[in-house]
Amino acid sequence: MLTRFRWLLYPLTATLGLLLIGAALALMVVLLAYPQLPSLDILTDYRPKIPLRVYSAEGELIGEFGEERRSVVPIGQVPDALKHAIIAAEDERFYQHSGIDYMGIARAALSNLTSAGRSQGASTITMQVARNFFLSSERTLRRKVYEALMAFKIENSLTKDQILQLYINQIYLGQRAYGFAAASRAYFGKNLKDISVAEAAMLAGLPKAPSKYNPVVNPKRAALRQAYVLRRMHELGYIDEATRMQSVAEPLSIRRDSSTTPSGGHLPADFVAEMARQIAVERFGDDAYALGLRVTTTIRRADQDAAIQAVRKGVFDYDRRHGYRGAETFVDMKDVSSDDDELLDDLLQDIPDAAGLNAAVVLSASPNALKVYKRGGEVLTLGADALKFAKAMLDEKAPAARRLRRGAVVRVMPDAKLGWTLAQMPEVEAALVSMDSNDGAVRALVGGFDFNRNKFNHVTQGWRQPGSSFKPFIYSAALEKGYGPATVEDDSPLVVSAGETGSQSWQPKNYDGKYDGPISLRTALAKSKNMVSIRMLRAIGPRYAQDYVSRFGFDAPRHPPYLTMALGAGSVTPWQMASAYAVFANGGYRVEPYVVSEITDNSGHVLARFTPRKAGDESLRVIDSRNAFLMDSMMQDVVRRGTATRALALKRSDLAGKTGTTNDYLDAWFCGYQPSHVAVAWIGFDSPRTLGRGETGGSAALPMWVDYMRHALKDIPQAQIPMPDGLLRIDAGHDNQGVPRSDLMYQEHLPPAPESLPEEPGGPASEGELQPGPPAQSPATIPAPAPRSPTGHIVPGEASIGLPPAVNRAIEQLPRPAG
């Protein structure tokens, strides 16, 4: 009998022997290799690289920097929906096996034999943890053995929940996001605890192939993978059929710009985040990117939202005033077979969205309608109302290189009335910064139209001519030299010699081309009269003014001591202008603007804190409180009846500021404040060119300021700067514009009492008498003085118009001061 089955016995014996030898060899490998496995300290004392994070004053994330975006969350804070989705997608027997799922291996082997070359893996979650922490992704038998051994070791050392927690926090999920918490913010802009079942299934589908199932890059493939995960969740009893169907149908809002936003922040404050990053790296070096530092800024969420909306609206409004420029570029449509062809997303891949402007490809065009494909698969039809802006570019006679036709790349943006409307990527830039005038805390900062398109921070880096927005500092200097708001200067044409300009002779003009003759300084500032500013600067001396403006924080070398300084021909940044205007707003103190209030480590220990010095600290005083009060009063008139009357839309009586427009309309500014809150708005081109005739500070920049302040001041009660001691009221009739010349000036700048002057024949001796006034809170009424020269002498001439005749005649007898 044995002889008969000898032919079968020998092979079986040989096979059994080989199996025994293999088992022995495997045991030897295990016995030799297991002790050589790396320590699990990296898992038991998990300290991942945590990026530098930047937060608003309220604690909302606005920026994230580092090679890896990562947030570590304990397993107890992970939603059940996400745990179930991960297990359904990756390892359904995770809580049953001991690191290696033999049933899963058998199932995968069978599937691989019957799937015509499509391989199916059998890695458990534990094996993936081993691979991510200790091994490479190479596909070799040796790596697989070590992976299995490490899985056994991990399972013997950690609980299942600890292993799942490591997996959830460590796995790479695309968009530079490591871990599901970081991925939730990157893809949905949400905290992990807030995601829906549909979003959890989308995230759980990513580990298999983050690049393939990325909903930003491949939304259709991602949706298919999501549907698979939801089906598996239903099959395993984690969700019912109704939930599955509802989740499949749920529209997901994907943050399509997350791949191009360096900060990865939810609040649009990338310029602030970059400033905070630079501060942290300067203090802590490159370690700042991995230590989990938390940088808290002074930015307020609501203010920042209002600022960015104001800037974008200002840019869009300017852009529409100057017409549609045509197609952004063209793409080759020859291989596009349908309106929802996946190739269309590929054609748009290198054209990023920005600031709410979505890239789209024109599918068909007619004079009254435009059909476009928007990135992500949506086909839009824009009607005549949405195309008014671009009507000229739909005409057959439009230039071929710009005409809207099939294949043209355009921009569309949401519209409250029309749903979607045609737009274009603007060429102009704008900026806005606001700060607390009492301590310098920056409340909002928008350094440009869109950080991803242009990272140049126009608030801190944009050196531009301030134009007439610089005049208040010249007026402030004049107040210290004897001028007052009621002082009269001549607004008539003049010619300035080359010696006074520093280059060539100059014949300046008023911006509106109108000249009003002798007018008060109050009216001159309100109407932004250039001739008055130049004459006043000539009287006080350009070198004195150059030194004086430096007390506001301006760099003296950037403001050469020539008469052109009167019109803002120097260089400033919006950051400097906000700090300087705060001096007027807070009563004469220079506070340093700052944007970072605190830096803490990952455990919450304070590493650095900025404690500001506040207005009221007399060591910070840079101008007389009377000067600040008078300048505030004069700049309130700029709003009430001058070049900034658009600000009256806010229906407040405590607003002050100054418009600024440079030569040829290259820059437009508005710098203004309420006593507690300063804001500066600017608009212009990076490579200076004209904004266009009529694009003044009042028409191009002021609307942004108004839109921002409408929000920033809505809960702030009206307030006025209290009048300080040392001011007396003068009363000298009206100027030639009919404006009463009842005004205030420094008590010590009044001219000598005229009792010794000859009495006016036929008139009472008291006509020109100076009456000593009561305390400044109840100012007396006295005649207006003439202005003073830099040496303190009364200057004869047209500036004395409005004084009593006896005083005028006496002044005419005085010698003119030299120069």
- The catalytic residues are 90, 468
C-alpha 278/C-alpha 595 separation (Å) is 12
C-alpha 467/C-alpha 25 separation (Å) is 86
Phi-psi region of 651 (alpha: psi -120 to 50; beta: other; left: phi over 0): left
Q: Which residues are within 8 A (CB) of 355 and not within 5 positions of it... i.e. 6 or more apart?
A: 312, 449, 450, 453
Closest residue by Cα to residue 703 from 624, 645, 755: 645
- Quick one: CA dihedral 51, 57, 58, 62, positive or negative? negative
C-alpha 601/C-alpha 47 separation (Å) is 13
| φ, ψ (nearest 5 deg) of residue 102 | -65, -35
As to burial, measured by CB atoms within 10 angstroms (0-12 exposed, 13-18 middle, 19+ buried), residue 442 is buried
DSSP 698: I
DSSP 192: G
Greatest alpha-carbon pair distance for the chain in Å reads: 160
DSSP letters for 289-350: GTBT-EEEES--HHHHHHHHHHHHHHHHHHHHHT-----SEE---TT--STT-THHHHHTTT
C-alpha 89/C-alpha 84 separation (Å) is 9
Question: Hey, how many other C-beta atoms are within 10 angstroms of the C-beta on 334?
Answer: 5
DSSP 252: P
Q: Which residues are within 8 A (CB) of 79 and not within 5 positions of it... i.e. 6 or more apart?
A: 192, 193, 195, 200
C-alpha 411/C-alpha 54 separation (Å) is 31
C-alpha 512/C-alpha 624 separation (Å) is 33
Question: Residue 402, CB half-sphere, CA atoms under 13 Å: how many?
Answer: 13
Rg (CA), the chain: 37
Alpha helix ranges (H) inside 508-541 = 521-526, 530-540
Identity of the residue numbered 770: L
- How many residues in the chain? 819
